[in-house]
Amino acid sequence: MASELDPRKKKILKVITDDYIVSAEPVGSRTIARRYDLGLSPATIRNEMADLEEGGYLEQPHTSAGRIPSDQGYRYYVDALMSLQQLSEKEIERIHQELDRHRQQLESIIHQTSKLLVQMTRYPSLVLSPHSEDAVFRHIQLVRLSDTAILALVVTDSGHVENKVIEFEGGISDAELDRISLILNEKLRGIRLKDLRSSLLSEIRSELIAHQDFYNEAIQLLTRVIGTTGTKERVYIDGATKILEQPEFSELHKFKPLMDALDEEERLYKLLSENIGGTFVKIGSENKSLGLSGCSIVTASYEIAGRTVGVIGVLGPTRMDYAKVLPIVENTAAILSELLTQMSRRCSK
C-alpha cells in the first residue's frame, strides 16, 4: 500500500472521485479524457487506472464497467486530494442568521442546527445534544407543585435546564425546601455533573444531618434529582428521508439495515460518541458499527468555552460530496460553538 502516488495518478484518482461523486456512475477512461482536460489519451488513463486498481484505490463493479473509488480511495481522496469548497460569505452568513434566529433556547438551537445541515447538504443530519455529564452545575431550584410533588430544576452553565417532577410521600415544609435548596446550591456550584454522583453526596449528607428533622427526606430528594439528571442526552436525527434521494438507494431493500439503524437512538449515540473531539470523516467500512457499510459520516464537535459538549454531523453514501460537506459541517460546528459560548457567558457573568 504505497502511501504516495505519483502526481499523475493523484490527479486521475481525484478526477475519478470527483466525477463519481456527482454522477454516481462508474467512470471510464474515455469519459475522463473527454470531460477533463488532462492532455492524456484514454489508453494512458486506462493504464493508470489499472495501476490504481492494483493499489486498491479503485474498484470495478464488474468487468468492463468503469471504475469507482474504493473505501481506501475515498480515504486517500479525503486526506490528500480534495479541494475543500470554500463556503461563500453568503453561506456563512446564512448559518449565522439561521442559528441566531433561535438563539434563545438550547433545544431550539440544536434542532435548528440539524435542520440547517439537512438543507445545506441534502443529507440527513445527526446531532448529539450537549453532553450533560461534562456540563457544570450552576443552580438548582425546588418548586412546590403540591403537598407531595416537587419540581426540581437544574440549570447548567450551558443554559440547559433539566426538570423533573419528584413525588414525595413524607411531606416537606416550605422552609425545609428552601434550606435544602440553599445547601445544595452552596455545595454544588461549579461542580461538573459527572463528578456529582458519589464523592460529594456523603459530604452533603453530613451537612444535612445537622438539621436532623428532614434528613431522610432531603437525602431521598437529592439522590433522586441527581440520579435522573444528566441522562437526557439525545441524538437528534433530521431529514432521514433525504438519504432516499441518493440514486444508490433505488434498490431499497439493501438499505433496510441502514434505515433501521437510523431509528435506533442507541446505535447512533454510540456512533457519534466515538467521534467526540474534532472533525471526523468515517468512510464506508470504517463504520463497522452495524449496517453502515456503504455509508459515510462526517462529524464535527462543538463546544462551549473550549469544552466539547456535543457532536453534529451528516450521513450519506460513501459517494458523498466530502469537499462540500466537510466545510459546511465544520463551519456550522464552529458557529454553533461561538453562539453557545456567548450564551453561556451571558448566563454566568
Partner DNA sequence: GATTAGCACTCGCCTAGCGAGAGTGCTAAC
Partner DNA sequence: GTTAGCACTCTCGCTAGGCGAGTGCTAATC
| Stretch of residues binding DNA (CB under 7 A), selected from 26-34, 119-127, 138-146, 270-278 | 26-34
- Rounded to a whole number of angstroms, the minimum distance from the CB of residue 348 to its own copies is 6
Number of neighbours of residue 148 by Cβ within 10 angstroms: 13
Task: Pick one of 183, 191, 201, 240: the residue that binds its own copies (CB under 8 A).
Answer: 240
| Stretch of residues binding its own copies (CB under 8 A), selected from 51-59, 235-243, 272-280, 307-315 | 235-243
| Comparison of 56 and 327: residue with beta carbon closer to DNA | 56
- Using CA of residue 80, residue 294, residue 236, residue 321, what is the dihedral sign? positive
C-alpha span between 91 and 333 (Å, rounded): 14
CB 313 within 8 A of CB 116: no
C-alpha span between 220 and 154 (Å, rounded): 16
C-alpha span between 271 and 103 (Å, rounded): 28
Q: Pick from its own copies, DNA, none: which does 155 bind, CB < 5 to 8 A by kind?
A: its own copies
239 near its own copies (CB under 8 A): yes
* DSSP letter assigned to residue 197: T
220 near its own copies (CB under 8 A): no
- Per this entry, what is the length of the chain? 349
28 near DNA (CB under 7 A): yes
| Comparison of 40 and 118: residue with beta carbon closer to its own copies | 118
Whose cell is 477533463? That residue is 36
Cα 120 to Cα 20, 24, 117, 137: the distances in Å are 20, 20, 5, 35
65 near DNA (CB under 7 A): yes
| Comparison of 66 and 316: residue with beta carbon closer to DNA | 66
Burial class (CB in 10 A: 0-12, 13-18, 19+), 45: buried
104 near DNA (CB under 7 A): no
Whose cell is 443554559? That residue is 159
Where b means 16+ CB within 10 Å and e means fewer, 192-214 reads: bbeebeeebeeebeeebeeeeeb
Task: Pick one of 49, 235, 271, 272: the residue that binds DNA (CB under 7 A).
Answer: 49
Q: Pick from its own copies, DNA, none: which does 348 bind, CB < 5 to 8 A by kind?
A: its own copies
* DSSP letter assigned to residue 261: H
Task: Pick one of 28, 159, 310, 313: the residue that binds its own copies (CB under 8 A).
Answer: 159
31 near DNA (CB under 7 A): yes
- Total binding residues toward its own copies, as defined by CB under 8 A: 42
284 near DNA (CB under 7 A): no
**Interacting residues toward its own copies by CB under 8 A:** 104-105, 138-139, 141, 143, 145-149, 151, 153, 155, 159, 161, 163-167, 228, 238-242, 244-245, 249-250, 252, 256, 259-260, 262-263, 343, 346-349
